[in-house]
A and B are shown apart, each in its own frame.
Chain A
Amino acid sequence: MSTLVIKDLKVSVTENEQERLILKGVNLTLNTGETHAIMGPNGTGKSTLSETIMGNPAYHVVSGQILLDGVDLLKMSVDERARAGLFLAMQYPAEIKGVTNIEFLRAAINARRPKDDQISVTDFLALLDKNLAELNMSTSMAERYLNEGFSGGEKKRNEILQLLMIQPKFAILDEIDSGLDIDALQVVAHGVNAMASPDFGTLIITHYQRLLNYIVPDYVHVMMDGKIVKTGDAQLANTLEAEGYAGLRDELGLDVPLTDDDVE
């Protein structure tokens, strides 16, 4: 079993040449075998958390720790974190013309293997075919340039394809449901569920409860104003769907702005 621990994490970003604190002390523990969901209104720091875990240089850790099986991830580069077992399905995957999906996937897989034991073409293609079928993706998509000219839905599927190919310890799915119709959502959920194992943990970041009908979380965390303010089971997502974030804020007696009502 592996464990990802986030301790009192404070993170800022630079906006208009000023540092703005986004995460104000996040605590979270994920074990493999578990599915966690983080919900919360827009602008509350959910994506900041996922990007900070991955090591996006645009986010500056002010204090706190991120530990993977006791190892300090904050001292590691982005690619080292990935090879240590992290995967971030991105909200806005980059497009790279001139590099095919296939060669990108091979490079990602081989980066995890010793130089003298790179994956054979046959094994790679077998694995690719299996995962493409899992996601109802055509082989032609694998031969196209990486995300180039992909629709929003195709990009999300391609993120999940990478997840299946790379087989990380922990996957963070950052709004993997945005821009997906219900069919695509089911395909994506099917792919994520196919990963389920005692050696795999998921952190789902979403606005909406809908995705959680298909990927049922063990824990639901609600984030507001840079902190996790409430943790519960899958039922919490349903309550939120019914009552909204404002209801929960008032119930908790929090004095925090919700992005939705401070947009004036």
Chain B
Amino acid sequence: MDATTLLAGVQAYAHAQNEPDWLLKLREQAVAAYFKLPLPKFEKISYKDWPLFNFTAPTATVSEPVTGELAATAATQQFYAVGDSTIQLTLPAEALQQGVILSDLRSAIQHHGDLVQTYLMQKALKLGDDKLTALNTAMMTNGFFLYVPKNVELKAPIEILQVVDNRTQQNYFSHNLLIADTNSQVNVIQRLASVGDQANAAHVLVEVVAEANSQVNFAGIDTLDCRTTAYLNRRGYLANDAKLDWELAEMNAGDVIADFDSELKGRGSEAMVKTIAIANREQTQGLDTRVTNYGKKTVANIVQRGIILDAATLIFNGIGHIIKGAHGAKADQENRLLMLSSKARGDADPILLIDENDVEAGHAASVGRVDEQQMYYLLSRGIPKPEAERLVIRGFLAGVITELRSQRLRHELNALIERRLTDGND
């Protein structure tokens, strides 16, 4: 699509949605940025030929709810959307009384325009970052919006299910915003799934702003099917003494490029990123996880573990970047991959960029095979080889995500891992 056509399409959509002028202006700048900026570069991940750019002008598509297994999950969610359509929104009365806002992006633009304007593409992500974030900003049609006011501590997790609608060919540009204001605490579980058998591209941005002294625990469980080619970007911004814990499970079956970055802007802020992934069949998943220490005494931790089966490719880039002035900063990372097939391709690349002296930085990386001693132990108890292998592998992954707060979530994850490992063997 050329610049004029895209601009006209974006303008028409903004008018149809009665969007405020500031947003129209932002979208127009985004169109220009999209054509000007290069694609973001991720070491050893080549995605320029993926069908991520087969989009049409933005429209407000209406999607029906899903049925089956996914519908059962949907029923328990605080936020549930299919395609651009928000199907379900609930918040406990207590959270509402405390001023927590959970809505979709469209209505947040109308009803909480000032908040959206303050944060959208202003702190976590910015328009000049790269081509893909610019494209999303120009094209975004919906997403979730969660605001937790100052001093509010939400105990129960906010669960969000977003389903990419592959029942018809359509765009999916989702832009999500989570703001944890000063001194607040929140747990969020975001599930990305898909339905239908058409091939679509999914562009998903999540901006997480953790204001001073806030604590955000963000679990992402992504299970997009093999027909969904995805660009996932989850970006955290941390103010003074804020803590952000990411636990991300990439259980997608299609080609995925994921950019999971956190900016430790505030003094004493801490980010922990734990990612697990399974790649199988012919799929490629490239995960670029970066934490940048700007503030003094900031702490960055990255742990990534992945399994590669069949002829799949899985790439973990772990980037620890300590900016000049970040005295006393710490950056640590561990990237480990297990290859279960001779045709599998994998890379675990630790990249440390250190521009300050009085800091601590460490890394570990490995690409290996299943632990023979663990296998022998399980076999010696009579557990057949395929099952023993699955247990060892599951342990390798699940051992990382030990902090998952609820047992229900752990079971869900174990079942997902099991399903991914046996996919194609039955």
Give the Cβ gap from B127 to chain A, nearest Cβ, in Å: 41
Q: Is the CB of A99 within 8 A of B384?
A: no
Interface positions, chain A 59-97, Cβ under 8 Å from B, are 77-79, 82-83, 87-88, 90, 93-97
Residues of chain B contacted by A77 (CB below 8 angstroms) = 379, 385
Q: How many residues of A contact B (CB 8 A)?
A: 29
B424 at the interface (CB under 8 A from A): no
Determine if B376 and A78 form an interchain contact, defined as CB atoms under 8 angstroms apart.
yes
> What A residues does B383 contact at CB under 8 A?
79, 104, 107-108, 111
Q: Does B374 contact A (CB under 8 A)?
A: yes
Interface flag for B382 (CB, 8 Å): yes
**Is the Cβ of A79 less than 8 Å from the Cβ of B388?**
yes
CA separation between A95 and B377, bound complex, in Å? Answer: 9
Tell me, rounded to whole Å, the shortest Cβ–Cβ distance linking B274 to chain A.
13
Contact A96 B380 (CB under 8 A): no
Q: Which residues from 28 to 72 on chain A have a C-beta closer than 8 Å to any C-beta of chain B?
A: 54-57
Q: Is B342 at the interface (CB under 8 A from chain A)? A: no
If the complex has contacts A94-B374, A98-B399, are A79 and B392 also in contact, measured as CB distance less than 8 A?
A: no
Least Cβ distance of B380 to chain A in Å?
A: 5
B228 to chain A, nearest CB (A): 28
Residues of chain A with a CB closer than 8 A to B385's CB: 77, 79
> Given contacts A98-B399, A111-B387, A145-B399, is CB(A78)–CB(B380) below 8 Å?
yes
> What is the CB-to-nearest-CB distance from A131 to chain B, in angstroms, rounded to a whole number?
15
Q: How large is the interface on B (under 10, 10 to 19, 20 to 34, 35 or more residues)?
A: 20 to 34
A67 to chain B, nearest CB (A): 19
Evaluate contact between A82 and B399: CB separation under 8 angstroms. no
**A112 at interface, CB cutoff 8 A:** yes
- For chain B, residues 136 to 174, give those with C-beta under 8 angstroms from any C-beta of chain A: none
Q: Are A162 and B381 in contact (CB under 8 A)?
A: yes
A69 to B399, CA, bound (A): 41
CB closest chain-B residue, reference A147: B377
Q: Which residues of A contact B399 (CB under 8 A)?
A: 97-98, 145
Smallest Cβ-Cβ distance to A85: which chain B residue: B382
Q: What CA separation (Å) do A166 and B382 show in the bound complex?
A: 9
Tell whether B368 is near chain A: CB-to-CB under 8 Å.
no
CA distance A55 to B381 in the complex (A): 12
- Also in contact, A90 and B380, with CB within 8 A (given A77-B385, A79-B388, A111-B387): yes
Please give the distance in Å from A9's CB to the nearest CB on chain B.
19
Among B376, B397, B400, max chain A CB count under 10 A is at B376
Shortest beta-carbon distance from B187 to chain A in Å = 22
Q: Is B395 an interface residue (CB 8 A)?
A: yes
B376 and A96: CB pair below 8 A?
Answer: no
Q: How far is the CB of A86 from chain B (nearest CB, A)?
A: 8
- A104–B378 contact, CB under 8 A? yes
Known: A79-B383, A111-B384. A99 touches B376 (CB 8 A): no
CB pair B394–A99 under 8 Å, yes or no, is yes
CB distance from A113 to the nearest CB of B (A): 10
B23 at the interface (CB under 8 A from A): no
A210 to B381, alpha carbons, bound, how many Å? 28
Partner of B382, one of A93, A98, A111: A111
Give the one of A90, A94, A95 with max B CB within 10 A. Answer: A94
For window 367-426 of B, CB contacts with A under 8 Å fall at 371-374, 376-385, 387-388, 391-392, 394-400, 402
CA distance A93 to B383 in the complex (A): 15
Contact call B396/A98, Cβ cutoff below 8 A: yes
Nearest 6 CB-CB pairings of A with B: A98-B395, A98-B399, A97-B399, A82-B382, A98-B398, A94-B377
Pairs across A and B, CB under 8 Å, 28 listed: A54-B380, A57-B376, A79-B379, A79-B382, A79-B384, A79-B385, A82-B380, A82-B382, A87-B380, A87-B381, A90-B377, A90-B380, A93-B377, A95-B374, A96-B374, A96-B377, A96-B392, A98-B397, A99-B392, A99-B394, A103-B391, A104-B383, A107-B383, A111-B381, A111-B387, A112-B382, A146-B395, A162-B381
A-side residues, CB < 8 A to B, are 54-57, 77-79, 82-83, 87-88, 90, 93-99, 103-104, 107-108, 111-112, 145-146, 162, 166
